[in-house]
Amino acid sequence: MERETLEVDVLVVGAGPAGLSFATEFARRCKDRGEEKSILVLDKAEELGHHQLSGAVVDPRGILEVWPHAESDGFPIQAKVSEDAFWWMRSGGKRKFQGPFLPPPFKNKGKWIVSMSEAVQWMATQAEAAGVEVYAGFAGAEVLYGGNEEVVGVRTVDQGRGKSGEQKGNYQPGYDIKAALTVFAEGARGNLAKTLMAKKNLMDGRNAQIWGMGVKEIWEVEHSLEGQVIHTGGWPLDTSIYGGGWVYGLPGNRLSIGFVIGMDHGNASLDYHACMQQWKTHPAISELLEGGKIVKFGAKCVPEGGLFSIPRLWGDGFLLVGDTAGFMNAQRLKGVHLAVKSGALAAEAADSAFADSAPTGAALSCIDTLFQASWAYQELHKVRNFRQAFQRGFLYGFLRAGIDTVFGGRLPGRLPTQSDHERYYSVSKSPQGPSAAQNGPLTFDKLTSVFHSSSMHEEDQPCHLVVPDPSICTDRCTEEFGNPCQHFCPASVYEWQDNQLLMNPSNCVHCKTCDIADPYENIDWVVPESGGPVYTGM
Ligand code: SF4
Protein backbone atom coordinates (compact mmCIF):
# COMPACT_ATOMS: atom_id res chain seq x y z
CA MET A 1 0.00 0.00 0.00
CA GLU A 2 1.44 3.34 -1.01
CA ARG A 3 2.34 5.90 1.63
CA GLU A 4 0.60 9.23 1.17
CA THR A 5 2.53 12.49 1.33
CA LEU A 6 1.14 15.78 2.53
CA GLU A 7 3.02 19.06 2.10
CA VAL A 8 2.64 22.09 4.36
CA ASP A 9 4.81 25.12 5.06
CA VAL A 10 5.09 24.53 8.80
CA LEU A 11 4.44 21.39 10.81
CA VAL A 12 4.13 21.49 14.60
CA VAL A 13 4.39 18.17 16.42
CA GLY A 14 2.46 18.41 19.68
CA ALA A 15 -0.63 20.46 20.61
CA GLY A 16 0.54 21.57 24.04
CA PRO A 17 1.04 25.14 25.27
CA ALA A 18 4.36 25.61 23.42
CA GLY A 19 3.19 24.21 20.07
CA LEU A 20 -0.09 26.12 20.11
CA SER A 21 1.52 29.38 21.18
CA PHE A 22 4.03 28.98 18.32
CA ALA A 23 1.30 28.22 15.78
CA THR A 24 -0.96 31.11 16.85
CA GLU A 25 1.83 33.66 16.95
CA PHE A 26 3.39 32.52 13.67
CA ALA A 27 0.02 32.58 11.87
CA ARG A 28 -0.59 36.14 13.09
CA ARG A 29 2.85 37.28 11.96
CA CYS A 30 2.31 35.76 8.49
CA LYS A 31 -1.02 37.55 8.26
CA ASP A 32 0.58 40.84 9.28
CA ARG A 33 3.12 40.41 6.48
CA GLY A 34 0.30 39.59 4.05
CA GLU A 35 1.66 36.08 3.46
CA GLU A 36 -0.29 32.88 3.56
CA LYS A 37 1.39 29.87 5.05
CA SER A 38 -0.12 26.47 5.71
CA ILE A 39 0.45 25.59 9.38
CA LEU A 40 -0.47 22.16 10.66
CA VAL A 41 -0.41 21.06 14.32
CA LEU A 42 -0.61 17.33 15.10
CA ASP A 43 -1.06 15.63 18.46
CA LYS A 44 -0.73 11.96 19.41
CA ALA A 45 -3.74 12.01 21.75
CA GLU A 46 -7.04 10.87 20.30
CA GLU A 47 -8.68 14.10 21.51
CA LEU A 48 -6.94 17.40 22.15
CA GLY A 49 -5.87 17.70 25.76
CA HIS A 50 -6.08 13.99 26.56
CA HIS A 51 -2.31 13.73 27.09
CA GLN A 52 -1.84 17.06 28.89
CA LEU A 53 -0.90 16.75 32.54
CA SER A 54 0.36 19.39 34.92
CA GLY A 55 -0.28 20.57 38.52
CA ALA A 56 -1.04 23.33 37.49
CA VAL A 57 -0.57 26.73 39.09
CA VAL A 58 0.31 28.94 36.13
CA ASP A 59 2.09 32.27 36.01
CA PRO A 60 -0.12 33.95 33.38
CA ARG A 61 2.66 36.16 32.01
CA GLY A 62 3.35 34.03 28.90
CA ILE A 63 -0.31 33.42 28.16
CA LEU A 64 -1.19 37.12 28.44
CA GLU A 65 1.59 38.06 26.04
CA VAL A 66 0.31 35.73 23.33
CA TRP A 67 -3.40 36.08 24.18
CA PRO A 68 -3.75 39.49 25.92
CA HIS A 69 -7.53 39.07 26.25
CA ALA A 70 -7.37 35.48 27.48
CA GLU A 71 -9.51 36.12 30.54
CA SER A 72 -12.31 37.96 28.77
CA ASP A 73 -12.07 35.49 25.86
CA GLY A 74 -12.94 32.60 28.16
CA PHE A 75 -9.56 31.08 29.04
CA PRO A 76 -10.52 28.28 31.46
CA ILE A 77 -9.16 29.45 34.82
CA GLN A 78 -10.35 27.04 37.47
CA ALA A 79 -9.51 29.38 40.36
CA LYS A 80 -7.15 32.19 41.25
CA VAL A 81 -4.81 31.51 44.15
CA SER A 82 -6.12 33.26 47.27
CA GLU A 83 -3.98 31.58 49.97
CA ASP A 84 -0.68 29.82 49.82
CA ALA A 85 1.45 27.90 52.29
CA PHE A 86 4.40 25.55 52.58
CA TRP A 87 4.29 22.57 54.94
CA TRP A 88 7.48 20.88 56.08
CA MET A 89 6.30 17.38 56.91
CA ARG A 90 7.77 15.02 59.45
CA SER A 91 6.38 11.67 60.48
CA GLY A 92 3.02 12.44 62.09
CA GLY A 93 3.40 16.24 62.15
CA LYS A 94 4.13 19.33 60.12
CA ARG A 95 5.51 22.87 60.37
CA LYS A 96 3.56 25.47 58.44
CA PHE A 97 5.11 28.48 56.68
CA GLN A 98 2.95 31.22 55.24
CA GLY A 99 2.70 35.00 54.87
CA PRO A 100 6.11 36.62 55.37
CA PHE A 101 7.64 33.26 56.30
CA LEU A 102 6.73 31.66 52.98
CA PRO A 103 9.84 31.18 50.78
CA PRO A 104 9.47 33.37 47.64
CA PRO A 105 9.29 30.50 45.11
CA PHE A 106 6.14 29.25 46.87
CA LYS A 107 4.31 32.59 46.73
CA ASN A 108 1.48 32.15 44.27
CA LYS A 109 -1.27 34.60 45.21
CA GLY A 110 -3.15 35.75 42.12
CA LYS A 111 -1.73 33.01 39.90
CA TRP A 112 -4.11 30.82 37.91
CA ILE A 113 -4.99 27.26 38.83
CA VAL A 114 -5.80 25.53 35.56
CA SER A 115 -6.43 22.16 34.01
CA MET A 116 -3.90 21.96 31.17
CA SER A 117 -6.18 19.58 29.36
CA GLU A 118 -8.84 22.32 29.23
CA ALA A 119 -6.30 25.09 28.61
CA VAL A 120 -4.91 23.52 25.43
CA GLN A 121 -8.41 23.03 24.03
CA TRP A 122 -8.93 26.77 24.42
CA MET A 123 -5.51 27.50 22.88
CA ALA A 124 -6.31 25.21 19.94
CA THR A 125 -9.50 27.18 19.26
CA GLN A 126 -7.46 30.38 19.24
CA ALA A 127 -4.91 28.85 16.87
CA GLU A 128 -7.67 27.70 14.53
CA ALA A 129 -9.18 31.19 14.56
CA ALA A 130 -5.77 32.47 13.44
CA GLY A 131 -5.86 30.07 10.47
CA VAL A 132 -3.98 27.05 11.85
CA GLU A 133 -5.16 23.47 11.28
CA VAL A 134 -5.04 21.36 14.44
CA TYR A 135 -5.59 17.59 14.36
CA ALA A 136 -5.55 15.06 17.18
CA GLY A 137 -4.90 11.35 16.67
CA PHE A 138 -1.69 11.61 14.61
CA ALA A 139 1.49 10.48 16.31
CA GLY A 140 4.90 11.22 14.80
CA ALA A 141 6.92 8.02 14.57
CA GLU A 142 9.99 9.13 12.65
CA VAL A 143 11.78 12.33 11.67
CA LEU A 144 12.24 12.70 7.89
CA TYR A 145 15.54 14.05 6.60
CA GLY A 146 16.45 15.48 3.19
CA GLY A 147 19.55 15.00 1.03
CA ASN A 148 21.60 17.38 3.17
CA GLU A 149 20.41 15.82 6.41
CA GLU A 150 18.06 18.75 6.98
CA VAL A 151 14.74 18.01 8.68
CA VAL A 152 11.99 17.86 6.05
CA GLY A 153 9.05 16.64 8.12
CA VAL A 154 7.72 13.70 10.05
CA ARG A 155 6.28 10.26 9.27
CA THR A 156 3.20 9.39 11.31
CA VAL A 157 2.84 5.95 12.83
CA ASP A 158 1.50 3.06 10.73
CA GLN A 159 -1.94 1.81 11.70
CA GLY A 160 -3.13 -1.80 11.62
CA ARG A 161 -0.03 -3.80 12.47
CA GLY A 162 -0.16 -6.87 14.66
CA LYS A 163 2.01 -7.71 17.68
CA SER A 164 4.88 -8.97 15.52
CA GLY A 165 4.65 -6.03 13.15
CA GLU A 166 2.70 -7.95 10.50
CA GLN A 167 0.15 -6.04 8.43
CA LYS A 168 -3.44 -6.76 9.46
CA GLY A 169 -6.52 -6.38 7.24
CA ASN A 170 -6.97 -2.77 8.33
CA TYR A 171 -3.32 -1.83 7.68
CA GLN A 172 -2.80 1.81 6.75
CA PRO A 173 0.72 3.18 6.33
CA GLY A 174 1.49 6.41 8.15
CA TYR A 175 1.62 9.70 6.23
CA ASP A 176 4.79 11.51 5.25
CA ILE A 177 4.13 15.09 6.22
CA LYS A 178 6.70 17.30 4.55
CA ALA A 179 7.33 20.84 5.73
CA ALA A 180 9.89 23.58 5.18
CA LEU A 181 9.96 23.96 8.97
CA THR A 182 9.14 21.36 11.62
CA VAL A 183 8.63 22.51 15.21
CA PHE A 184 9.06 19.82 17.85
CA ALA A 185 6.69 20.56 20.73
CA GLU A 186 6.14 17.00 21.92
CA GLY A 187 6.36 17.67 25.66
CA ALA A 188 8.77 16.02 28.08
CA ARG A 189 11.12 13.45 26.51
CA GLY A 190 9.56 13.62 23.05
CA ASN A 191 10.32 10.45 21.13
CA LEU A 192 11.17 12.34 17.93
CA ALA A 193 13.19 15.07 19.65
CA LYS A 194 15.20 12.38 21.45
CA THR A 195 16.43 10.91 18.15
CA LEU A 196 16.94 14.36 16.64
CA MET A 197 19.00 15.56 19.61
CA ALA A 198 21.25 12.50 19.33
CA LYS A 199 21.65 12.75 15.56
CA LYS A 200 22.38 16.48 15.54
CA ASN A 201 24.36 16.55 18.83
CA LEU A 202 22.03 19.23 20.17
CA MET A 203 23.17 18.64 23.78
CA ASP A 204 26.86 19.21 23.00
CA GLY A 205 28.34 21.57 25.57
CA ARG A 206 25.17 21.45 27.69
CA ASN A 207 24.49 19.84 31.06
CA ALA A 208 22.72 16.49 30.87
CA GLN A 209 18.99 16.97 31.35
CA ILE A 210 17.76 15.79 34.75
CA TRP A 211 14.16 14.95 35.47
CA GLY A 212 11.41 14.85 38.04
CA MET A 213 8.70 12.22 38.08
CA GLY A 214 5.25 13.51 39.06
CA VAL A 215 2.24 11.46 40.12
CA LYS A 216 -1.08 13.31 40.31
CA GLU A 217 -4.63 12.61 41.42
CA ILE A 218 -7.86 14.61 41.31
CA TRP A 219 -10.16 14.09 44.30
CA GLU A 220 -13.69 15.12 45.15
CA VAL A 221 -13.74 15.96 48.88
CA GLU A 222 -16.22 17.09 51.50
CA HIS A 223 -14.83 20.59 52.14
CA SER A 224 -13.90 23.21 49.58
CA LEU A 225 -10.33 24.54 49.48
CA GLU A 226 -10.94 26.53 46.29
CA GLY A 227 -8.06 28.91 45.60
CA GLN A 228 -5.74 27.43 48.26
CA VAL A 229 -2.30 26.25 47.26
CA ILE A 230 -0.13 24.15 49.57
CA HIS A 231 3.29 22.76 48.75
CA THR A 232 4.96 20.21 50.99
CA GLY A 233 8.52 19.04 51.59
CA GLY A 234 10.02 16.36 53.81
CA TRP A 235 8.19 13.16 54.76
CA PRO A 236 8.01 10.55 53.35
CA LEU A 237 11.29 11.51 51.62
CA ASP A 238 14.48 11.86 53.58
CA THR A 239 16.77 14.78 52.81
CA SER A 240 18.86 12.72 50.37
CA ILE A 241 15.98 12.88 47.86
CA TYR A 242 14.78 16.02 46.09
CA GLY A 243 11.00 16.29 45.87
CA GLY A 244 7.72 17.20 47.48
CA GLY A 245 3.96 17.34 47.21
CA TRP A 246 1.17 19.73 46.35
CA VAL A 247 -2.48 20.34 47.16
CA TYR A 248 -4.37 22.78 44.94
CA GLY A 249 -8.00 23.67 45.72
CA LEU A 250 -10.25 23.53 42.66
CA PRO A 251 -13.89 24.58 42.36
CA GLY A 252 -16.63 22.06 43.10
CA ASN A 253 -14.91 20.64 46.21
CA ARG A 254 -12.19 19.11 44.06
CA LEU A 255 -8.49 18.92 44.87
CA SER A 256 -5.49 18.49 42.61
CA ILE A 257 -2.91 16.59 44.67
CA GLY A 258 0.41 15.20 43.63
CA PHE A 259 3.98 14.37 44.41
CA VAL A 260 7.15 14.97 42.35
CA ILE A 261 10.48 13.29 43.00
CA GLY A 262 13.79 14.16 41.35
CA MET A 263 14.91 11.14 39.35
CA ASP A 264 18.54 11.54 40.37
CA HIS A 265 17.97 9.90 43.80
CA GLY A 266 20.03 6.81 42.93
CA ASN A 267 17.77 4.34 44.76
CA ALA A 268 17.15 1.40 42.43
CA SER A 269 14.20 0.27 44.57
CA LEU A 270 12.34 3.59 44.74
CA ASP A 271 8.70 3.41 43.69
CA TYR A 272 7.32 6.86 42.81
CA HIS A 273 3.72 5.70 42.88
CA ALA A 274 4.16 4.12 46.32
CA CYS A 275 5.78 7.30 47.71
CA MET A 276 2.79 9.35 46.59
CA GLN A 277 0.35 6.85 48.10
CA GLN A 278 2.27 6.91 51.38
CA TRP A 279 2.32 10.73 51.43
CA LYS A 280 -1.51 10.72 51.37
CA THR A 281 -1.56 8.77 54.64
CA HIS A 282 0.12 11.62 56.55
CA PRO A 283 -2.47 13.07 58.96
CA ALA A 284 -2.11 16.54 57.38
CA ILE A 285 -3.08 15.18 53.96
CA SER A 286 -5.44 12.41 54.99
CA GLU A 287 -7.69 14.82 56.88
CA LEU A 288 -8.17 16.80 53.67
CA LEU A 289 -9.15 13.66 51.75
CA GLU A 290 -11.29 11.97 54.39
CA GLY A 291 -14.75 11.08 53.07
CA GLY A 292 -13.69 11.97 49.52
CA LYS A 293 -13.11 9.88 46.43
CA ILE A 294 -10.52 9.78 43.68
CA VAL A 295 -11.67 10.98 40.27
CA LYS A 296 -8.56 10.82 38.08
CA PHE A 297 -4.95 9.64 38.13
CA GLY A 298 -1.98 10.56 35.96
CA ALA A 299 1.81 10.59 35.85
CA LYS A 300 4.40 12.49 33.88
CA CYS A 301 8.09 13.41 33.84
CA VAL A 302 9.21 17.03 34.01
CA PRO A 303 12.57 18.43 32.87
CA GLU A 304 14.30 20.00 35.88
CA GLY A 305 17.82 20.74 34.61
CA GLY A 306 17.09 24.41 33.81
CA LEU A 307 19.03 26.83 31.62
CA PHE A 308 22.23 24.79 31.25
CA SER A 309 20.25 21.73 30.11
CA ILE A 310 18.44 23.51 27.26
CA PRO A 311 19.71 22.04 23.99
CA ARG A 312 20.56 23.93 20.82
CA LEU A 313 17.08 25.01 19.78
CA TRP A 314 17.54 25.17 16.02
CA GLY A 315 18.95 23.43 12.99
CA ASP A 316 18.24 23.14 9.27
CA GLY A 317 14.47 22.91 9.01
CA PHE A 318 13.64 22.60 12.70
CA LEU A 319 13.08 24.30 16.05
CA LEU A 320 12.57 22.87 19.54
CA VAL A 321 10.16 24.44 22.07
CA GLY A 322 8.55 23.86 25.48
CA ASP A 323 9.19 20.85 27.72
CA THR A 324 10.82 19.11 24.75
CA ALA A 325 13.60 21.68 25.05
CA GLY A 326 13.58 21.76 28.87
CA PHE A 327 11.85 25.10 29.46
CA MET A 328 11.02 24.64 33.15
CA ASN A 329 11.89 26.58 36.29
CA ALA A 330 12.39 23.91 38.95
CA GLN A 331 12.74 26.49 41.72
CA ARG A 332 9.30 27.97 41.00
CA LEU A 333 7.81 24.56 40.07
CA LYS A 334 6.51 26.17 36.89
CA GLY A 335 6.94 25.59 33.18
CA VAL A 336 3.76 26.56 31.35
CA HIS A 337 4.64 30.28 31.14
CA LEU A 338 8.10 29.39 29.79
CA ALA A 339 6.66 26.87 27.33
CA VAL A 340 4.27 29.50 25.93
CA LYS A 341 7.08 32.08 25.75
CA SER A 342 9.43 29.63 24.01
CA GLY A 343 6.70 29.02 21.40
CA ALA A 344 6.27 32.76 20.84
CA LEU A 345 10.05 33.28 20.52
CA ALA A 346 10.24 30.42 18.02
CA ALA A 347 7.44 32.06 16.01
CA GLU A 348 9.45 35.28 15.84
CA ALA A 349 12.56 33.37 14.73
CA ALA A 350 10.59 31.40 12.12
CA ASP A 351 8.94 34.55 10.81
CA SER A 352 12.29 36.26 10.40
CA ALA A 353 13.78 33.15 8.71
CA PHE A 354 10.91 32.86 6.20
CA ALA A 355 10.96 36.62 5.54
CA ASP A 356 14.69 36.41 4.88
CA SER A 357 14.78 33.38 2.64
CA ALA A 358 14.11 29.94 4.12
CA PRO A 359 14.20 28.24 7.53
CA THR A 360 17.81 27.11 7.40
CA GLY A 361 19.67 26.54 10.64
CA ALA A 362 21.61 29.76 10.11
CA ALA A 363 18.41 31.76 9.65
CA LEU A 364 16.66 30.12 12.61
CA SER A 365 19.64 30.58 14.93
CA CYS A 366 18.36 34.09 15.67
CA ILE A 367 16.21 32.35 18.30
CA ASP A 368 19.31 32.32 20.54
CA THR A 369 19.50 36.12 20.51
CA LEU A 370 15.76 36.46 20.95
CA PHE A 371 15.81 34.08 23.91
CA GLN A 372 18.77 35.80 25.56
CA ALA A 373 16.99 39.15 25.32
CA SER A 374 13.78 37.78 26.87
CA TRP A 375 12.40 37.68 30.42
CA ALA A 376 12.35 33.87 30.11
CA TYR A 377 16.15 33.85 29.89
CA GLN A 378 16.50 36.30 32.78
CA GLU A 379 14.24 34.14 34.93
CA LEU A 380 16.10 30.93 34.13
CA HIS A 381 19.52 32.58 34.39
CA LYS A 382 18.85 33.63 38.01
CA VAL A 383 18.24 30.02 39.02
CA ARG A 384 20.62 28.35 36.57
CA ASN A 385 22.47 26.40 39.30
CA PHE A 386 19.48 25.76 41.57
CA ARG A 387 18.43 22.20 40.80
CA GLN A 388 21.80 20.62 40.14
CA ALA A 389 23.10 21.96 43.46
CA PHE A 390 20.85 19.39 45.16
CA GLN A 391 22.83 16.60 43.44
CA ARG A 392 25.57 17.53 45.93
CA GLY A 393 23.32 16.91 48.94
CA PHE A 394 20.40 18.66 50.56
CA LEU A 395 22.48 21.00 52.72
CA TYR A 396 24.61 22.17 49.80
CA GLY A 397 21.51 22.62 47.61
CA PHE A 398 19.64 24.47 50.33
CA LEU A 399 22.52 26.85 51.09
CA ARG A 400 23.31 27.42 47.42
CA ALA A 401 19.64 28.18 46.70
CA GLY A 402 19.59 30.68 49.57
CA ILE A 403 22.81 32.39 48.44
CA ASP A 404 21.61 32.57 44.82
CA THR A 405 18.33 34.10 45.98
CA VAL A 406 20.15 36.73 48.08
CA PHE A 407 22.52 37.63 45.22
CA GLY A 408 19.81 37.40 42.54
CA GLY A 409 21.74 34.68 40.69
CA ARG A 410 24.80 36.90 40.20
CA LEU A 411 27.30 34.32 41.54
CA PRO A 412 29.32 33.15 38.53
CA GLY A 413 29.92 29.55 37.55
CA ARG A 414 28.12 26.55 36.20
CA LEU A 415 27.47 23.46 38.25
CA PRO A 416 27.42 20.37 36.03
CA THR A 417 24.79 17.62 36.27
CA GLN A 418 25.05 13.88 36.23
CA SER A 419 22.36 12.00 34.28
CA ASP A 420 19.67 10.41 36.42
CA HIS A 421 20.29 6.91 35.05
CA GLU A 422 24.00 7.08 35.92
CA ARG A 423 23.36 7.66 39.61
CA TYR A 424 21.92 4.33 40.73
CA TYR A 425 23.54 2.55 43.66
CA SER A 426 23.74 -1.21 43.44
CA VAL A 427 20.62 -3.02 44.59
CA SER A 428 22.29 -4.06 47.84
CA LYS A 429 22.95 -0.41 48.71
CA SER A 430 19.48 0.82 47.68
CA PRO A 431 17.34 1.34 50.76
CA GLN A 432 13.86 -0.13 50.64
CA GLY A 433 11.40 2.69 50.06
CA PRO A 434 7.68 2.33 50.72
CA SER A 435 6.43 -0.91 49.20
CA ALA A 436 3.80 -0.96 46.46
CA ALA A 437 0.54 0.39 47.84
CA GLN A 438 -2.60 -1.62 48.44
CA ASN A 439 -6.15 -0.45 47.93
CA GLY A 440 -7.47 1.33 51.01
CA PRO A 441 -9.68 4.30 51.58
CA LEU A 442 -6.88 6.71 50.58
CA THR A 443 -4.37 4.56 48.72
CA PHE A 444 -4.50 2.54 45.54
CA ASP A 445 -2.50 -0.14 43.87
CA LYS A 446 -1.05 0.62 40.46
CA LEU A 447 -3.74 -1.18 38.48
CA THR A 448 -6.48 0.80 40.20
CA SER A 449 -4.56 3.98 39.43
CA VAL A 450 -4.28 2.97 35.76
CA PHE A 451 -8.05 2.48 35.76
CA HIS A 452 -8.44 6.08 36.97
CA SER A 453 -6.17 7.31 34.16
CA SER A 454 -8.59 5.74 31.62
CA SER A 455 -5.51 4.58 29.71
CA MET A 456 -6.23 2.09 26.94
CA HIS A 457 -4.31 0.69 24.00
CA GLU A 458 -5.22 -1.78 21.27
CA GLU A 459 -3.66 -5.05 22.52
CA ASP A 460 -2.81 -6.43 19.08
CA GLN A 461 -0.15 -3.93 18.01
CA PRO A 462 3.65 -3.84 18.25
CA CYS A 463 4.82 -3.19 21.82
CA HIS A 464 5.65 0.51 22.14
CA LEU A 465 8.23 -0.15 24.87
CA VAL A 466 11.21 -1.44 22.96
CA VAL A 467 13.99 -3.23 24.86
CA PRO A 468 16.86 -3.35 22.35
CA ASP A 469 18.92 -5.89 24.32
CA PRO A 470 16.79 -8.09 26.61
CA SER A 471 19.86 -10.03 27.76
CA ILE A 472 21.02 -6.94 29.71
CA CYS A 473 17.86 -7.19 31.81
CA THR A 474 18.44 -10.77 32.87
CA ASP A 475 22.23 -11.07 32.75
CA ARG A 476 23.18 -7.76 34.37
CA CYS A 477 20.32 -5.66 35.62
CA THR A 478 18.79 -8.28 37.93
CA GLU A 479 22.02 -8.70 39.84
CA GLU A 480 23.31 -5.14 39.71
CA PHE A 481 20.15 -3.11 40.22
CA GLY A 482 17.31 -5.58 40.88
CA ASN A 483 15.40 -4.50 37.74
CA PRO A 484 14.27 -1.03 38.85
CA CYS A 485 11.69 -0.90 36.02
CA GLN A 486 9.34 -2.95 38.20
CA HIS A 487 9.50 -0.16 40.81
CA PHE A 488 9.75 3.08 38.83
CA CYS A 489 6.93 2.45 36.37
CA PRO A 490 3.75 3.85 37.96
CA ALA A 491 1.50 1.66 35.85
CA SER A 492 2.79 -1.90 36.41
CA VAL A 493 3.90 -2.22 32.81
CA TYR A 494 7.07 -4.10 33.80
CA GLU A 495 6.58 -7.25 35.89
CA TRP A 496 9.21 -9.78 36.82
CA GLN A 497 8.26 -13.42 37.34
CA ASP A 498 10.80 -16.26 37.57
CA ASN A 499 13.52 -14.00 36.17
CA GLN A 500 11.33 -13.25 33.16
CA LEU A 501 10.18 -9.79 32.13
CA LEU A 502 6.45 -9.69 31.42
CA MET A 503 5.21 -6.50 29.84
CA ASN A 504 1.74 -4.98 29.96
CA PRO A 505 2.11 -2.12 27.45
CA SER A 506 -1.59 -1.41 27.38
CA ASN A 507 -1.33 -0.04 30.97
CA CYS A 508 1.15 2.66 29.90
CA VAL A 509 0.23 6.22 30.90
CA HIS A 510 2.92 7.76 28.64
CA CYS A 511 4.89 9.26 31.54
CA LYS A 512 8.25 8.42 29.81
CA THR A 513 9.93 7.44 33.10
CA CYS A 514 11.25 4.17 31.71
CA ASP A 515 12.84 5.87 28.71
CA ILE A 516 14.80 8.09 31.12
CA ALA A 517 15.34 5.95 34.21
CA ASP A 518 16.55 2.62 32.88
CA PRO A 519 20.13 2.30 34.20
CA TYR A 520 21.45 0.99 30.85
CA GLU A 521 19.25 3.22 28.65
CA ASN A 522 17.84 -0.07 27.40
CA ILE A 523 14.21 1.02 27.03
CA ASP A 524 12.98 3.05 24.07
CA TRP A 525 9.52 4.54 24.37
CA VAL A 526 8.13 4.72 20.81
CA VAL A 527 4.65 5.85 19.83
CA PRO A 528 1.85 3.30 19.91
CA GLU A 529 -0.68 3.32 17.06
CA SER A 530 -3.16 5.16 19.24
CA GLY A 531 -4.52 5.25 22.77
CA GLY A 532 -2.96 6.31 26.05
CA PRO A 533 -4.38 8.12 29.04
CA VAL A 534 -7.43 10.37 28.99
CA TYR A 535 -6.56 13.35 31.19
CA THR A 536 -9.78 15.31 30.86
CA GLY A 537 -10.03 17.84 33.69
CA MET A 538 -6.43 17.14 34.80
FE1 SF4 B 1 5.62 5.40 32.16
FE2 SF4 B 1 7.22 3.73 30.80
FE3 SF4 B 1 5.49 2.79 32.62
FE4 SF4 B 1 4.61 3.81 30.29
S5 SF4 B 1 5.85 1.98 30.55
S6 SF4 B 1 3.77 4.19 32.33
S7 SF4 B 1 6.07 5.45 29.96
S8 SF4 B 1 7.25 4.08 33.00
Which residue lies with its CA nearest to atom 6 of ligand 1? Answer: 508
Question: In this structure, are residues 244 and 285 in contact, taking their beta carbons and an 8 Å threshold?
Answer: no
* Residue 513 in contact with ligand 1 by CB distance below 6 A: yes
Question: Residue of the nearest CA to atom 2 in ligand 1?
Answer: 514
In this predicted structure, the answer to whether residue 416 has a pLDDT above a threshold of 90 is yes
CA distances to 205, 212, 390, 421 from 417, rounded to whole Å, are 12, 14, 10, 12
Range list of β-strands (E), 330-392:
none
- Which pLDDT score, from 0 to 100, does residue 434 have? 79
**What pLDDT score was predicted for residue 406?**
83
Q: Which atom of ligand 1 is nearest to the CA of 511?
A: 1
Rg (CA), the chain: 22
pLDDT of residue 439: 85
Q: Is the CB of 489 under 6 A from ligand 1?
A: yes
pLDDT beyond 90 at 515? yes
Distant-in-sequence, close-in-space partners of 32: CB < 8 Å, separation ≥ 6: none
Check pLDDT > 90 for residue 352.
Answer: yes
Least confident range of 183-197, 300-314, 361-375, 403-417: 403-417
**Average pLDDT, rounded, for the chain:** 96
DSSP three-state, residue 285: helix
- Interstrand relation of 465-466 and 494-497 (parallel, antiparallel or unpaired): unpaired
Is the pLDDT at 128 greater than 90, yes or no? yes
If you average pLDDT over residues 382-401, what whole number do you get? 91
Q: Which residue among 524, 525, 527 is best mutated to probe the pocket of ligand 1, counting the most ligand atoms within 8 A of its Cβ?
A: 525
Q: What is the pLDDT of residue 427?
A: 86
At 92 the pLDDT is: 86
CATH numbers and ranges of domains, the chain: 5-66+117-208+306-382 (3.50.50.60), 211-303+423-525 (3.30.70.20), 388-416 (no CATH)
Give the distance (Å) from ligand 1 centre to CA of residue 457: 13
Cα dihedral across residues 205, 206, 207, 209: positive or negative? negative
Query: Is residue 465 in contact with ligand 1, taking CB distance under 6 Å?
Result: yes
pLDDT in tens, 54-80: 979 999 999 999 999 999 999 999 999
pLDDT at 50: 97
Q: What tens digit of pLDDT does each residue of 231-285 get?
A: 999 999 998 999 999 999 999 999 999 999 999 999 999 999 999 999 999 999 9
